[in-house]
Structure 1
Amino acid sequence: MDSSPPVGECLDMCPERERRERESQRRLHPLEVQKVQRPNKGPRGRSHPLADPKKTVKEYRRPAAGKELSYPSELRPPATLAKTVHYLLMDVWSSVNYKDLSCLAKTYSFVFDRLRAVRQDLIVQRIMGQGGALVLERSLGFLLCAPYLVRDLPLADYDEVLHSTQVRECFSELVECYKDGGGFPRQAEFQSLLLLYDLGNLDTVHKGMQLPCGVLQSPHVRLALDINKAHFENNWVRLFRLVHQLNCLQACAIYRHLPAARSKALCTLIHAYSSRNSRFPLDLLTRMLALDGPSLTMDMCSRRGQTVMSGENPSVLFLKTALTDVKPESPGREMNLVEQKKGQASWAEVMIGQDRVITNEAQ
C-alpha cells in the first residue's frame, strides 16, 4: 500500500464542493457571503445567501466528519494555505471593530476556526520544513495576540481552554518543522515566544537550553531565558524590568502570566517591608509591578488588606499580619507592556510578523 501523504490540489481558500454545500445548507458565515442574495421561491420566500468565492474559507471539520478530508481536491497546498492565513489576518482581522464586542466575537470565531482548518490541511499532507513553518508562525501570531484582544468577551464567545490547547498544538507542530532542517529566519523569535508562553515550565526551559547554539545565543532566546530565570528565583523586580524589554508579540505571549506574577511580587514585598514605622512609595511600587497607573496599584494593595496612605506623596503601609489571601486580578488592558510596543503597526501586522524588534538588549 502507498503510505505517502496526499498532495493538495485546491488552489482556492475553500474547495468548490464545500462552498456549494454550505451555500445550499445555509451554513455560510456572515463574513463569507455576497451582498447580493439569490431569491428563493420556497414556501417561506426567504432569500438565499450566496457564497463569495474570494471570501469563503474552508471550515474546520472533525476527522470523523467525512472521508473527504484526505481527497487531494479538498486539500490546499502550502502556497494556498499561506495565502489563506494572510487573508484571514490582513483582510478579515484588520477590519475588526474592537469596540463592538459582537463584531469582535464573530470575527474571532471565524478566524480561529479557519486557522484550525489550515493546520488540519498541513497535518493531513504532512507538510514540514519552511512551508509548514511559515503557515504555523503566522497562525501563532494570531493565537498569541487574540487572548489580549478578546479579553472582554464572555465565556460563551471565548473558550480559553480550547484556545490554549490550539496554541500548544501549534507550537508542537512548529518545533517539529524546525527539526526538518533548513533555514528558518524566525526560529529564534518563536522559540522565545514558547519560553514566554510557558513561563516557569521546567521542561520547556530544559528544551530551550538544548537549542542549537545560534538560536540559543540569539537576543530573543536569551531574554526569554533570563525572564524564566528571574521567575524561578522569585526575583520579581528583575522580571518586570526584563518584561519591559519585550516587543509587542512577546508581551502578548507572556500576558497570561502577568496577574499571577504581580500578585506574587506584591506578596513578597509585603513580607519584606512589613513595618508599622515605614511606608512604601506608591509610585515606586507602580513602576516595580509594571502597572499602568497608581489607581491599579492601590486596588491591588487594598484587596490584600494593605493600607494606602494618601497625601502629597502617596504610600502604602505594608503589614504581613493584615495580608489577605485573594486570587490574582483578571487580565486587563496593558498600555505600557503591550499596546505602546505596538507603535504605529496594526494588530494584523504584529500577528503576521511586522514587529520583530527587541527594543533593548537584555541585561
Structure 2
Amino acid sequence: MDIHRRGGVNPRGRRGPRRHRGPPPPSPATAATAASIAALSLEEAPLLGQCQRLCPPQEETERRRCQELSRFERATTASPTLVAVKRYRRAAAGRATLDARDLRPAPVLLATLRHLFTSVLVWPDSGEFLSVYHFVNDRIRSVRQDFTIQRIEDASLATALQQTARFYLLAGLRAAQLLSSQELQQDWSARLNDEQLVSALAQLQALTCSCPQQDGAAAAEFVAYDLLLHADDARAVAWSLRKLPSSLRNLPAVRRALRTFVALQTDAFHAFFTEFRAMTLLEQAAVLRHVPTVWTRSLHMLNKACGKQDRFPLEELARWLQLTDSESEGGDGGRAERLCNALNLQTQRLPPPPPPPKTSSQVADSWEVDDALDGCVTSSSASETSSSSVGSVQFKLAPLKEELDSEATRLLLHDLALQIEGSASGEEGERTPRTATELVTGTRSESPSAQ
C-alpha cells in the first residue's frame, strides 16, 4: 500500500493535514433565533431608524451597568435635562449588519443636536472647555454616522451640517482664547478639529449643489467659511468656484470671502484687515489661521521698503495690522512691539512729549475762579503726561526671521481672539455677547459692519 499517495502518513511518520470542511451547519434553533433578530444588511435598501430616544435603550443600559455614562449624561439638581446620548462607534471590520432599533431617525437626530447645543454646550472661562468639547464632538460624529447609514440627504441633514460647521469654527476660536500652550500641545488637536470642520463643509457644499432650491443666503454663509478656510490655497478655491452655482457667487458673504482671498494671495495686508474688520465673528474665526502669515509678510515688505534710518511708529503699525486693544484706537503699540521683537526687529521707546504750556482764554473774576481754572488745566495736563511712551521700530538692523515661533503666535492670536469676541459679539450697538448656543444654532443673525 502506497501510504504517500493516500496522505495518511508523510515520509517522516507524521499524519498529513486534513482538508478544511468549513464550519458545521447551524442548528435549527440557532437559525430560528438569527432569523428573528431585526437586523438589516448594509447592502440592502436604506435603513429607517426606529430609535426614538437620544440613546438606544440597550446601549444606555449597558453603559449604566458598566458605569460608563459621562457626567454630561447624568441629570443633577442643577442640570435636570441631561440624558444619555448615543456615542460614536467606529465601523467594525466584518460587521455587515446593523439593527434599525439602534438608529435614530432625522427628527431625533436634530433633537439630539438641539440637546447638545442647549443643555450641554456651556463654555466657562476655564476648566471645562476641553471636557465639553470632547463630549460634544464625539456625539456629533455619532449623529453624522446615523445620517450616513440611513442615507438621509434632505433639509434635516443640511441643518445638522450647518450647526456642526459652526460648532467647530467656534471651538477653534475658543481654543485660541482659553487654552494654554501646554493644553494646545497635549489635549487639543487643531488638525482633528479642522478635519471635522472641512468634512462638514464639503458635505454641505455637495448637498447645496445637488439641491439648488435651498436658501441662498444660508448657503452663502457656509460657502464663505469654506473659501476663507482655504484662502491660502489658490487651487482649492478655484476648484470650489467651479462647482459653485453662479447664483451664489454674487451674494455679499461670498464676495467678501473672495476679496479676502485676493488680498491674501496678493499680500495686500491693508485690504485684508479691512475685510477682516467687516466680517462676522465666525468668519473671523475661520480666517484667524491666516493672520500670522499676513503679519509676517507685512513686516517683510516693510523691511524691504524702509531704510536703516527710518523709524516706523508702533501705534500706526498696530492699527495697520489689527494689533490694537479694544479700549483705544492704537493703544501704546505693545502688541505690535511683541510682533516685531518675535521677528528680530529692533524697537525703541521714547518718553512722551512735554505737555503744552498752561494757558486759558477765560478771564477770572476772582481768585476762586482762577484757582478752579488752574485745577482744570492741571488735571488735563496730568492726563497727558501720564500717557505711555512713544514707540517705534527700525528695519534692516538685524536679519529678519522667516516666521513667528509658536509661542509668540499663540500669545498674539490669543489677544486677537479676545478682541474678536469683544468687537463682533454685539449687534446694532448692543454690547451683549452672543452665547455659544446662539452662535451654533444661528438663532440670532450676525450683522457685519460692511459688505
Output the TM-score relative to the length of structure 2.
0.71
1:301 Cα deviation after fit: 0.6
RMSD, aligned CA: 2.3
CA contact (8 A) 2:82 2:120 kept: no
SS of the counterpart of 1:105? helix
- How many residues are paired up? 343
2:227 and 2:170 map into 1 onto residues whose CA distance is 16
- Of 148-157 and 134-143, more deviation after overlay is shown by 148-157
The alignment status of 1:342 with 2:425, answered yes or no, reads yes
Q: Which residue of 2 aligns with 1:287?
A: 319
Q: Which residue of 2 aligns with 1:87?
A: 115
- Tell whether the 8 Å contact from 1:304 to 1:324 is kept in structure 2 after alignment: yes
Q: 2:124 aligns with which of 62, 76, 97?
A: 97
| Distance of 2:105 and 2:445 partners within structure 1 | 27
2:27 equivalent in structure 1: none
Q: Which residue of 2 aligns with 1:115?
A: 140
Give the letter aligned to residue 230 of structure 2.
D
Is this contact kept in 1: 2:81–2:119, CA < 8 A?
no
Per-residue CA deviations over 1:95-123 (Å, capped at 9, x if unaligned) read 33122x2x222111101111111111111
Q: Give 2:193's aligned residue.
A: 163
Partner SS state of residue 322, structure 1:
coil
1:150 aligns with 2:175: yes
Aligned residue number for residue 49 of structure 2: 8
Identical positions, percent: 25
- The equivalent of 2:310 in structure 1 is 278
Match of 1:310 among 330, 345, 349: 349
Deviation at 1:71, TM superposition (A): 2.1
CA contact (8 A) 2:281 2:425 kept: yes
Listed as ranges, the matches of 1:62-211 within 5 Å are 62-64=90-92, 67=95, 70-93=98-121, 95-99=122-126, 101=127, 103-151=128-176, 152=179, 154=183, 155-181=185-211, 182-184=213-215, 185-210=217-242, 211=244
Q: Give, as a single letter, the amino acid of the residue that structure 2 aligns with 1:305.
A: N
User: By how many angstroms is 1:359 displaced?
Assistant: 1.7
Q: Which runs of 5 or more residues in structure 1 are unaligned? A: 37-51
In 2, distance between residues paired with 1:146 and 1:110? 13
Kindly indicate whether the alpha-carbon contact (under 8 Å) linking 1:271 and 1:320 is maintained by their aligned counterparts in 2: no
TM-aligned CA deviation for residue 338 of structure 1: 4.1
Per the TM alignment, residue 292 of structure 1 is displaced from its structure 2 partner at its CA by 3.5
Q: Per the alignment, in what secondary structure is the counterpart of residue 186 of structure 1?
A: helix
SS at match of 1:18: helix
Q: Equivalents in 1 of 2:96, 2:76: separation in Å? A: 30
Is the counterpart of residue 322 in structure 1 residue 376 in structure 2? no
Check the 8 A contact 1:290/1:337 in 2, yes or no: no
Q: Where in structure 1 do 4 or more consecutive aligned residues deviate above 4 Å?
A: 65-69
